[in-house]
C-alpha cells in the first residue's frame, strides 16, 4: 500500500488535474493506493478571505463565494460526463449553500472564531476529494471518498489540533479492513471526539498523508508538488541549484528548519517513526526522479544542502562580569524566553567574555530592552556593556550527516566565504555535526549561497563568471581562446569559465547559464541596447561568486566604473589603459581598493600586450628593488610602422597596414600622437612607485597638424598621404647615418620623454623588427646591465593571450 498526496498547486486547473488523474491511474496499476488531496489551488485562501470580509460586514464576500462555486461547478462539468454529473453537482451545490449560511451568520454576528474557521476551510478538501473521487470512478477505478474527519481524532485546539494517535490509528485500520478500494481522502481536516471539525495546521495535508502511511504501514509515501524535490539550495537565489536525490530524515528536518519550502518534515513525523520512505515528486515533471527521504540515505555527498534564514539580528552581550560567573547564560536565555523571543543561534567563545545570539530582527528591540533591564545593575556597575545589536544579518548553513567525523567541511565553508570577501560575524556548530551555521550580512547572502553551492556541489571545479565589455578585435580573440582552452582547463586545472554578459558600444546580451561559445556570440540588434549602468546592475544582480568584469574597450566611460565594480566585489581584468593612466589619485584609489578588499584588478596587457612587463615590474618592487630608469619601445604599431618604412612603402600605407594587422588602437592617431606610449610609460612609472602625472611626460606627436582633428579614421588615413614625403625624408636622414628610427619612451628622475629617435647599431633597440616591443629596466639590483624584456607587443592573439592569462590567474587566487 502506497499513500500519495497532491497539494493545491497540483490540482489548480483542468490541465493539472488531468495529469494528476493519469498519475494515479498509472500508479494504481502497480500497487494498492490511497490518495490524499488538498483543496483545489487557491480555494483555502478564498474561503478565509470570504470569512474575513463577512466578519468586517463587507457584503462583497458574496461575489467571491459565487465565483468559487462557479469554478467548482465548472470543474465538475469538465471532469465528469453529463449523464453522471447531476449527483456530483448537487453535492457541490449543497456544500456551497451550507457555506452561504455560514458566511451569512458571520456577517450578522461579525465574529469568526478558530472553531468556525476550521469548519469553513474544511469545505475545500471535502469538495475537492469528493469531486476527484467521482472523476476517478469515471476513469474506471474503484474509488471511495473518505472524509478524514471520521477517522482522524484530535484535541480541540482549533487551527492546529493535536492528533490522538491510538484512536486515530485504530479507526483508520478498522476502516481500511472493512472498505477495500482506492481510498480518496480529504487532507488537512480532522475532528474532536465530539464531532467538531478541526484542522492540522501548517502543511496539514502532508500530515494527513503521513498519518495514513503510518497507520496502514504503507510501503512508501509520495508527496506530489510543483517542484522536483528538495533542492541543494533555493533555486531563486542559486541558479545552479539541483535536486537532492536522497536525504535522511534528520537532514530533511535540519534543512526545513531553515525554511526549505518543499516539505515540512514535522508533518512527516508519523511516517518517519514507522520508517516509511517519503518521495517528493513533481506533478508537472512526473518522470523526474525527485527526492527520497528515508532513515539512512545512500547519498555520499559531504553536505546535502545549503540553507539560509533572512532578517536576522545579532545580539551581543559582553563584559567582564560574564567571565566565570555561573548563571549568566541562564539569565540571558530565561529573560529572552519570558519575552517570547525565539533564539535562532548561539555562540559563546571559551573566554566567556561575550555571548552572541541570533534572533529575528522583529524581536531585536524587545530583546535589547528586556536584557538591559535584567542586567540593569551589572551595566550600571560597568561589569557588562550595553547590549549591542547588529541588524540586517542572515544565517547561512550547510547541512549533511556526512560532515560528522569528516575533517575539512568547515574549512571549505570558511574558505569559500573568505575568498568571496564575505565576513563571518558568528559561527555555530553542534556536536551532532549535522549543520554548520555562519552569520553574515544580509547583503552578502546571495553571493554566499552561490559561493558555498559552488564549493560543495558543482563538481570540484572552480567557476569564473565573466562579463565582457568590448567584443572587438581583442574581445573576439579572447572568446575564441577561452572556447579552445576550456576542456583542458576543466580537466587539468579544475577551472571552468562561463561568460554571462557581453557588450559592445551598441548592444548587450546576457545568459545566466553562460553563453555557448562554439560560435563567437556578438551582441546584435536582436539583443538589448547597450546601457552601461544596466549592464553593471544586471551583472550585480546575477550575484555570482568569482565574477570578473573584462573590459576590452578603449573607453574612458567604462574605465570610470572600475571603482564601483571593485566595490561590488567583482574583479577586473583589462587591456584598457584609461583607468591607470588617468589622474594619479584615481589610480591610487583603485590600487588601494583592490588591495584592501582583496579583489583583483589585473592589467598585464596595459603595456606590451602579453609580454610579462607589469607582473615583472611588480615582482621587482615587491622584492624591494628600486627602479632607476625605464627605457622602452612600447608601441607595437609604431615599431611596425618605422621598421616597415625602411622597406620602401609610403608612410600612410604602412600605417593602414598596422591598423589592418590589429596593432593600432581603435583610432591609429592614438599611437601616432604618442599618447598610447605616454600612457604606458606613465603606468610603468606608477607601478615603479613614482608619483607620476601626465604633465611629467613630454610627448612628440607624429600626427601632422592638419590630420589631428579629422572626424573619421578613413579620412585621416587618406589625408596622411600628403605627408608621406616628410617621413621619407626622416628615414633618409637616418639611413645616411646608418641608423634606425625608433619611437621610444625614457623615464628617469621623475620625468618621461616620448618621441622618435634615431639609434645606431650599438643600441639595443636597433635590432627590433615587426611589432616588437622592448623594455629595459635599470634598477638598484639590475644596475650594471638592465633587465630586458622583448617580443611582439601588439596584435589580437598576443593581447588576448595576456588577458586570458590574467583571467586564469584570478582562478588561482579564488581557488
Ligand atoms: N590591439 C592590440 O594589440 C592591443 C594590445 C594591448 C591592449 N589593447 C587594448 O585593448 C582594447 C581593445 O582594443 P581592440 O583593438 O579590441 O579595439 P576594437 O575597437 O576592435 O574593440 C573595441 C570594442 O569595444 C566596444 N566599445 C567601445 N566603447 C564601448 C563602451 N563605452 N561600451 C561598450 N562597448 C564599447 C566596441 O564596440 C568594440 O566592440 C583597447 O583598450 C586597446 O588599447 C590592444
Ligand atoms: N596600439 C598598441 C596596442 C598595445 O597596447 C600598440 O601598438 O602597441
Ligand atoms: Na604586458
The pocket around ligand 1, CB under 6 angstroms, is made up of: 469-475, 503-505, 530, 532, 552-555, 557-558, 575-577, 605, 609, 636, 662-663, 665-666, 794-795, 799
**What CATH number should be reported for the domain whose range is 2-226?**
3.40.1160.10
- Taking the CA of 532 as reference, the closest ligand is 1
- Residue/partner pairs of 554-559 with CB below 8 Å, 24 or more apart: 554/578, 554/665, 554/666, 554/670, 555/469, 555/470, 555/505, 556/582, 557/532, 558/469, 558/470, 558/532
Q: Is the CB of 251 under 6 A from ligand 2?
A: no
Range(s) of the chain covered by CATH 3.40.50.720: 462-608+804-814
β-bridge mates for residue 394, sequence order: 440
Per-residue cell: 2: 502506497
pLDDT in tens, 359-384: 999 999 999 999 999 999 999 999 99
Of residues 170 and 434, which shows the higher confidence score?
Answer: 170
- Taking the CA of 613 as reference, the closest ligand is 3
pLDDT in tens, 592-617: 999 998 899 999 999 999 999 999 99
Range(s) of the chain covered by CATH 3.30.360.10: 614-794
**Mean pLDDT throughout 467-496?**
94
Virtual torsion, Cα 535, 551, 417, 300, nearest 10 deg = 90
Does the pLDDT of residue 330 top 60, yes or no? yes
Alpha-carbon span 134 to 200, nearest angstrom: 25
Cα(609) to centroid(ligand 2), Å: 7
| Residue 460 binned pLDDT confidence (cut-offs 50, 70, 90) | low
* DSSP tag of 162: P
Residue percentage of the chain with pLDDT more than 90 = 83
Strands 143-146 and 182-186: parallel
β-bridge mates for residue 776, sequence order: 631, 788
Q: Is the CB of 671 under 6 A from ligand 2?
A: yes
Axis crossing angle, helix 724-736 with helix 651-660, rounded to the nearest 10: 100
Range(s) of the chain covered by CATH 3.30.2130.10: 305-456
The pLDDT score that the predictor gives to residue 158 is 96
**Which atom, in ligand 2's list, is nearest to the CA of 640?**
7
Q: Tell which CATH architecture fits domain 305-456.
A: 2-Layer Sandwich (3.30)
The pLDDT score that the predictor gives to residue 815 is 46
Q: Is the dihedral of CA 643, 647, 649, 650 positive or negative?
A: positive
Per-residue cell: 480: 575564441
β-bridge mates for residue 133, sequence order: none
Q: What is the largest CA-CA distance in the chain?
A: 118
Per-residue cell: 667: 583610432
The pLDDT score that the predictor gives to residue 264 is 73
Does the pLDDT of residue 431 top 70, yes or no? no
Half-sphere exposure of residue 774: CA atoms within 13 angstroms, side-chain side? 18
Question: Is 680 an active-site residue?
Answer: yes
Alpha-carbon span 581 to 579, nearest angstrom: 6
Of residues 319 and 276, which shows the higher confidence score?
Answer: 276
Q: Is the CB of 670 under 6 A from ligand 2?
A: no
| Residue 227 binned pLDDT confidence (cut-offs 50, 70, 90) | confident
Per-residue cell: 73: 461547478
List of residues 6+ apart from 494 with CB closer than 8 A: 459, 460, 461, 462, 815
- Taking the CA of 642 as reference, the closest ligand is 2
Range(s) of the chain covered by CATH 3.40.1160.10: 2-226
Q: Is the CB of 609 under 6 A from ligand 2?
A: yes
Alpha-carbon span 724 to 721, nearest angstrom: 5
List of residues 6+ apart from 439 with CB closer than 8 A: 312, 314, 345, 358, 393, 394, 395, 396, 424, 425, 426, 427
Residue percentage of the chain with pLDDT more than 70 = 98
The pLDDT score that the predictor gives to residue 435 is 87
H or E element that contains 378: helix 376-380
pLDDT in tens, 800-810: 999 999 999 99
**What CATH number should be reported for the domain whose range is 462-608+804-814?**
3.40.50.720
Alpha-carbon span 323 to 603, nearest angstrom: 52
Strands 601-602 and 571-573: parallel
**What CATH number should be reported for the domain whose range is 614-794?**
3.30.360.10
Cα(635) to centroid(ligand 2), Å: 5
The pLDDT score that the predictor gives to residue 799 is 98
Does the pLDDT of residue 571 top 50, yes or no? yes
Does the pLDDT of residue 559 top 60, yes or no? yes
Axis crossing angle, helix 409-419 with helix 445-456, rounded to the nearest 10: 130
Residue carrying the nine cell digits 547519498: 299
Question: Which has the closest alpha carbon to 452: 390, 404, 394, 492?
Answer: 394
Of residues 718 and 326, which shows the higher confidence score?
Answer: 718
| Residue 23 binned pLDDT confidence (cut-offs 50, 70, 90) | very high
**Mean pLDDT throughout 304-332?**
88
Say which of 5, 498, 680, 740 is annotated catalytic.
Answer: 680
Q: Is the CB of 794 under 6 A from ligand 2?
A: yes
Cα(666) to centroid(ligand 1), Å: 7
**Mean pLDDT throughout 659-687?**
97
Does the pLDDT of residue 658 top 50, yes or no? yes
Q: Is the CB of 664 under 6 A from ligand 2?
A: yes
ipTM of this predicted complex? Answer: 0.95
Half-sphere exposure of residue 143: CA atoms within 13 angstroms, side-chain side? 22
**Which atom, in ligand 1's list, is nearest to the CA of 554?**
41
Cα(515) to centroid(ligand 3), Å: 28
List of residues 6+ apart from 664 with CB closer than 8 A: 637, 655, 658, 670, 671, 794
| Residue 764 binned pLDDT confidence (cut-offs 50, 70, 90) | very high
β-bridge mates for residue 347, sequence order: 356
Alpha-carbon span 309 to 360, nearest angstrom: 9
Enumerate helices (H) and strands (E) in the chain, giving the number of each.
Answer: 27, 29
The answer to whether the CB of 745 falls within 8 A of the CB of 677 is yes
* DSSP tag of 295: S
The pLDDT score that the predictor gives to residue 261 is 63
The pLDDT score that the predictor gives to residue 49 is 98
The answer to whether the CB of 637 falls within 8 A of the CB of 771 is yes
Alpha-carbon span 549 to 562, nearest angstrom: 9
Half-sphere exposure of residue 553: CA atoms within 13 angstroms, side-chain side? 20
Sheet of 772-779: strand order equals: 697-699, 751-759, 740-748, 627-633, 772-779, 787-792
Rg of the chain over all Cα atoms, to the nearest angstrom = 36
Does the pLDDT of residue 408 top 90, yes or no? no
The answer to whether the CB of 430 falls within 8 A of the CB of 410 is no
What average pLDDT does the chain have? 94
Spacing of C-alpha 444 from chain mean position: 10
Pocket mutation for ligand 2, best pick of 614, 635, 713 (most atoms within 8 Å of C-beta): 635
| Residue 814 binned pLDDT confidence (cut-offs 50, 70, 90) | low
Nearest CA residue ID for atom 3, ligand 2: 794
The pLDDT score that the predictor gives to residue 462 is 82
Least confident of 173-177, 338-342, 618-622, 808-812: 808-812
Cα(425) to centroid(ligand 1), Å: 42
Amino acid at each position: 500500500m502506497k499513500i500519495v498526496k497532491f497539494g493545491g498547486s497540483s490540482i489548480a486547473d483542468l490541465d493539472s488535474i488531468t495529469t494528476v488523474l493519469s498519475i494515479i491511474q498509472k500508479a494504481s496499476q502497480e500497487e494498492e493506493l490511497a490518495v490524499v488531496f488538498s483543496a483545489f489551488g487557491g480555494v483555502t485562501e478564498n474561503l478565509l478571505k470570504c470569512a474575513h470580509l463577512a466578519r468586517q460586514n463587507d457584503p462583497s464576500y458574496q461575489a467571491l463565494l459565487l465565483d468559487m462555486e462557479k469554478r467548482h461547478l465548472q470543474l465538475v462539468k469538465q471532469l465528469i460526463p453529463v449523464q453522471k454529473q447531476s449527483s456530483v453537482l448537487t453535492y457541490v451545490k449543497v456544500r456551497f449553500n451550507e457555506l452561504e449560511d455560514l458566511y451569512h451568520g458571520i456577517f450578522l454576528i461579525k465574529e469568526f472564531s478558530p472553531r468556525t474557521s476550521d469548519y469553513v476551510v474544511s469545505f475545500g478538501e471535502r469538495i475537492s476529494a469528493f469531486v476527484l473521487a467521482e472523476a476517478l470512478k469515471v476513469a474506471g477505478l474503484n474509488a471511495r471518498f473518505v472524509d478524514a474527519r471520521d477517522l482522524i481524532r484530535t484535541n480541540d485546539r482549533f487551527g492546529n489540533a493535536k492528533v490522538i494517535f491510538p484512536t486515530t490509528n485504530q479507526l483508520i485500520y478498522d476502516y481500511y479492513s472493512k472498505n477495500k478500494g482506492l481510498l480518496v481522502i480529504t487532507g488537512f481536516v480532522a475532528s474532536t471526539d465530539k464531532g467538531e471539525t478541526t484542522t492540522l495546521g501548517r502543511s496539514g495535508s502532508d500530515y494527513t498523508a503521513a498519518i495514513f502511511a503510518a497507520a496502514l504501514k504503507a510501503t512508501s509515501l509520495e508527496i506530489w508538488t510543483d517542484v522536483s524535490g528538495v533542492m541543494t539550495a533555493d533555486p531563486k537565489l542559486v541558479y545552479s541549484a539541483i535536486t537532492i536525490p536522497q536525504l535522511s530524515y534528520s537532514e530533511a528536518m535540519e534543512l526545513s528548519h531553515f525554511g526549505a519550502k518543499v516539505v515540512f518534515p514535522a508533518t512527516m513525523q508519523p511516517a518517519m517513526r514507522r520508517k516509511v520512505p517519503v518521495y517528493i515528486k513533481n506533478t508537472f515533471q512526473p518522470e523526474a526522479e525527485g527526492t527520497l527521504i528515508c532513515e539512512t540515505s545512500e547519498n555520499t555527498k559531504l553536505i546535502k544542502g545549503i540553507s539560509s534564514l533572512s532578517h536576522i539580528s545579532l545580539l551581543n552581550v559582553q563584559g567582564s562580569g560574564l567571565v566565570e560567573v555561573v548563571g549568566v547564560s541562564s539569565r540571558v536565555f530565561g529573560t529572552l524566553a519570558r519575552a517570547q523571543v525565539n533564539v535562532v543561534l548561539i555562540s559563546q567563545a571559551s573566554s566567556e567574555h561575550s555571548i552572541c545570539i541570533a534572533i529575528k530582527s522583529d524581536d531585536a528591540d524587545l530583546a535589547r530592552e528586556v536584557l538591559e533591564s535584567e542586567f540593569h545593575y551589572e551595566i550600571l556597575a560597568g561589569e557588562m556593556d550595553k547590549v549591542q545589536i547588529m541588524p540586517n544579518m542572515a544565517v547561512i548553513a550547510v547541512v549533511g550527516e556526512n560532515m560528522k567525523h569528516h575533517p575539512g567541511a568547515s574549512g571549505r565553508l570558511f574558505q569559500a566565504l573568505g575568498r568571496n570577501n564575505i565576513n563571518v560575524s558568528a559561527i555555530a556548530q553542534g556536536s551532532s555535526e549535522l549543520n554548520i551555521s555562519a552569520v553574515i550580512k544580509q547583503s552578502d547572502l546571495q553571493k554566499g549561497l552561490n559561493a558555498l553551492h559552488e564549493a560543495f556541489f558543482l563538481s570540484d571545479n572552480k567557476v569564473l563568471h565573466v562579463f565582457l565589455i568590448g567584443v572587438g578585435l581583442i574581445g573576439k580573440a579572447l572568446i575564441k581562446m577561452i572556447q579552445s582552452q576550456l576542456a583542458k582547463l576543466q580537466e587539468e586545472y579544475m577551472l571552468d569559465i562561463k561568460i554571462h554578459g557581453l557588450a559592445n558600444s551598441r548592444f548587450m546580451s546576457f545568459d545566466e547559464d553562460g553563453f555557448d561559445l562554439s560560435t563567437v556570440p556578438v551582441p546584435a540588434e536582436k539583443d538589448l541596447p547597450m546601457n552601461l549602468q544596466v549592464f553593471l546592475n544586471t551583472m550585480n544582480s546575477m550575484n555570482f561568486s568569482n565574477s570578473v568584469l573584462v573590459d576590452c574597450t578603449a573607453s574612458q566611460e567604462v574605465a570610470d566604473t572600475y571603482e564601483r565594480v571593485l566595490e561590488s566585489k567583482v574583479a577586473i581584468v583589462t587591456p584598457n589603459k584609461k583607468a591607470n593612466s588617468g589622474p594619479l589619485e584615481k589610480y591610487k584609489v583603485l590600487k588601494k581598493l583592490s588591495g584592501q578588499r582583496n579583489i583583483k584588478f589585473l592589467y598585464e596587457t596595459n603595456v606590451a600586450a602579453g609580454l610579462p612587463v607589469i607582473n615583472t615590474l611588480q615582482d621587482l618592487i615587491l622584492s624591494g628593488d628600486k627602479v632607476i630608469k625605464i627605457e622602452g619601445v612600447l608601441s607595437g604599431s609604431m615599431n611596425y610602422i618605422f621598421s616597415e618604412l625602411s622597406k620602401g612603402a609610403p608612410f600612410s600605407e604602412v600605417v593602414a597596414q598596422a591598423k589592418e594587422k590589429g596593432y593600432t588602437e581603435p583610432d591609429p592617431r592614438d599611437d601616432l600622437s604618442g599618447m598610447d606610449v605616454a600612457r604606458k610609460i606613465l603606468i610603468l612609472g606608477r607601478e615603479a612607485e613614482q608619483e607620476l602625472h601626465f604633465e611629467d611626460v613630454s610627448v612628440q606627436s607624429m600626427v601632422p597638424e592638419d590630420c589631428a582633428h579629422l572626424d573619421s579614421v578613413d579620412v585621416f588615413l587618406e589625408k596622411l598621404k600628403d605627408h608621406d614625403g616628410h617621413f621619407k625624408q626622416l628615414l633618409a636622414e637616418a639611413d645616411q647615418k646608418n641608423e634606425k628610427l625608433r619611437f621610444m619612451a625614457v623615464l628617469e628622475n621623475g620625468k618621461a620623454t616620448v618621441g622618435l629617435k634615431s639609434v645606431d647599431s650599438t643600441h639595443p633597440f636597433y635590432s627590433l623588427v615587426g611589432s616588437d616591443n622592448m623594455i629595459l629596466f635599470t634598477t638598484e639590483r639590475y644596475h650594471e646591465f638592465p633587465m630586458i624584456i622583448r617580443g611582439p607587443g601588439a596584435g589580437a592573439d598576443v593581447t588576448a593571450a595576456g588577458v586570458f592569462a590574467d583571467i586564469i590567474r584570478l582562478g588561482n587566487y579564488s581557488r
